Chains A and B, each alone.
Chain A
Amino acid sequence: MASERETHRASLPLSHIVASIAVALAVLGYLWDYSWDATIGKDSFWSPPHFLSWAASVVAGLCGVWVLIRSATRPIGAWLLVWGGVAVQAAALLDPWWQTAYGFHGGSWLGPPQALLTAGTLALHAGALLLIAAWQNRTGRVSPFFSISGGMLLAFLVSLNTEVAWPNLYHTGLFYEVMAVLIPVALVAISRATPNGTRAGRWSATFAALVYMGVICSLVWLFPLYPAKPLLGPIYFPIDHLLPPIFPLILAVPALAIDRLAQKRDLSLGTEWALAAACGLVFLAIFFAIEWPFASFMLSPSADNWFFAGGGKHWPFYFEVGDGATKFWGLTKIPMTVGSAVTAALLAIGSARLGWWWGDWMGAVRR
Chain B
Amino acid sequence: MFERLFTSISEKVSLTDEEFEICKTLFQPKKLRKRQFLLQKGEVCKYTVFVEKGILRSYTTDEKGNEHILQFALEGWWMADLYSFFTNEASPYDMDALEDSELLMITQSSWSLLLDKVPALERYFRILIQNNLIATQRRLMGAMSETAEEKYTKLVESFPDCIQRVPQHMIASYLGITRETLSRTRSQLASRK
A pairs with B: no
